[in-house]
Amino acid sequence: DDEAIAALVALLKTNQNEQLGAYAAAALGQIGVKAIPVLMELLVKEETRELAVLTLAQIRHSATISPLLTVVHDPQVAVRVAAIEALSSFHDSRIPPVLLDALNDVVAQVRCEAVKGLGFRADLNIELDLVNRLAARLHDFNIDVCREAAIALSRMGTDDAASHLFQALPLAPLKLQIEIVRALGWCETSEGLEYLQQALEIESPLLWQEIVTVLGRVKEPLLQTKSAFILVELLKPEHIRLHISDVKQALALALGQLGEISAIEPLILLLADVDPRVRFHAISALKNLSPMAYERLQYLATTILSPDLQIGIAQALAEW
């Protein structure tokens, strides 16, 4: 091992080929903890510092924390990024203050890594006021940092985090709005669902579609019932502004995923829709609610209905 380490280090020190240097660094990383003392020497030299940090990052051992902490303010951006990313994987009391400081780094990529790292430390939320610190990054001038902040806030899983996400929603660009909507869904809280419902007031068909999709992905049983209620309400005439084809398709798909029996009647009404794609999604959703949905369709097929609904029900039964 010692000979192998010495040979790889010599290669790193003298080699001008970037790819060969990366292979040597990866090999040192595979050697693991034994390579750390040598890598610490390479950290001192500017020309080998980046590869040394990347190699230390691969080792993923607590013995790498101290050397990595020495380069968190390095002038080289790649060094700072790699160090912050690697440190984020450890639970060590020295690291959170470093990540908080990195939230204000002049380089967006460094801020991104700091936000990601803090997003996995919900246990420190109260102690470090993480929700407010992360919420500030929702207004970062770099959209990737904003996106990571939304994801990190969703991991906090608090009503306060959901509130910050919702407050940032109206003025955000569409790309970020969609990320915030997803984050509100990931919060998996009743408050988060209510914010999603309120967000439907924003005039944006693409956003409506994403909100409906997110509501259909709720996993917690009690929240599924609430989510289904919100979706069923959207099919009522008072929400006619939402009744565009893409949104109705998303509604049918979401209701089918939730598997709530209360969705049977509104899904049956979608069988009369003029758009065959909406009817197709409604049939697929009703199949997820069998056998009750099938029994209901069989009964309705014997009653007097509008011609469009009669045709839709006949089609659904034929495809069952």
Please give the radius of gyration of the chain, using alpha carbons only, rounded to the nearest integer. 27
Q: How many residues does the structure list for the chain?
A: 320
Q: How many domains does the chain have?
A: 2
Q: What is the C-alpha to C-alpha distance for residues 315 and 319, in angstroms, rounded to an integer?
A: 6
Q: 65, 95, 110 — which closes off a domain?
A: 65
High-pLDDT (> 70) share of the chain, %: 98
Domain for residue 301, yes or no?
yes
Q: 35, 65, 95 — which closes off a domain?
A: 65
Nearest to 135 by CA among 74, 118, 127: 118
Q: What is the C-alpha to C-alpha distance for residues 210 and 223, in angstroms, rounded to an integer?
A: 18
Domain for residue 318, yes or no?
yes
Domain for residue 18, yes or no?
yes
Residues 6+ positions from 275 with CB-CB distance below 8 Å: 245, 248, 249
Q: What is the C-alpha to C-alpha distance for residues 153 and 255, in angstroms, rounded to an integer?
A: 27
pLDDT given at position 285: 96
Q: 65, 89, 104 — which closes off a domain?
A: 65
DSSP string spanning 21-61?
Answer: HHHHHHHHHHHGGGGHHHHHHHHHSHHHHHHHHHHHHHH--
Tell me, rounded to whole angstroms, the distance of Cα 119 from its chain centroid: 11
pLDDT given at position 16: 64
- Structural domain including 230 reads 201-320
Domain for residue 224, yes or no?
yes
The type of residue at 21 is G
**Residue whose entry in the numeric block shows the structure tokens 């969609």:** 178
Domain for residue 23, yes or no?
yes
Interval 67-103: pLDDT, tens: 999 999 999 999 999 999 999 999 999 999 999 999 9
| CA distance to 47, 97, 233, per residue, from 108 (Å) | 23, 18, 41
Burial 168-184 (b: 16+ CB within 10 A, else e): bbeebeeebbbbbbbbb
The 10 Å Cβ neighbour count of residue 233 is 13
Tally helices (H) and strands (E) across the chain: 21, 0
Domain for residue 78, yes or no?
no
The 10 Å Cβ neighbour count of residue 229 is 16
Q: What is the C-alpha to C-alpha distance for residues 248 and 281, in angstroms, rounded to an integer?
A: 9
Structure tokens at 187: 């919060």
Q: Return the axis-axis angle of helices 108-119 and 77-87, rounded to nearest 10°.
A: 0
Q: What is the DSSP letter of 263?
A: G
Q: What is the C-alpha to C-alpha distance for residues 85 and 98, in angstroms, rounded to an integer?
A: 11
- Evaluate if pTM is beyond 0.85: yes
pLDDT given at position 1: 66
Q: What is the C-alpha to C-alpha distance for residues 2 and 102, in angstroms, rounded to an integer?
A: 36
Domain for residue 125, yes or no?
no
Q: Cis bond leading into 291, ω under 30°?
A: yes
What pLDDT tens digit does each residue of the chain (320 aa) get?
677 888 877 777 766 666 777 777 778 778 888 889 888 988 998 888 988 898 899 888 999 999 999 999 999 999 999 999 999 999 999 999 999 999 999 999 999 999 999 999 999 999 999 999 999 999 999 999 999 999 999 999 999 999 999 999 999 999 999 999 999 999 999 999 999 999 999 999 999 999 999 999 999 999 999 999 999 999 988 898 889 999 999 999 999 999 999 999 999 999 999 999 999 999 999 999 989 999 999 999 999 999 999 999 999 999 98
End-to-end CA distance of the chain: 65
Domain for residue 59, yes or no?
yes
pLDDT given at position 15: 64
Q: What is the C-alpha to C-alpha distance for residues 201 and 241, in angstroms, rounded to an integer?
A: 10
Q: What is the C-alpha to C-alpha distance for residues 198 and 3, in angstroms, rounded to an integer?
A: 65
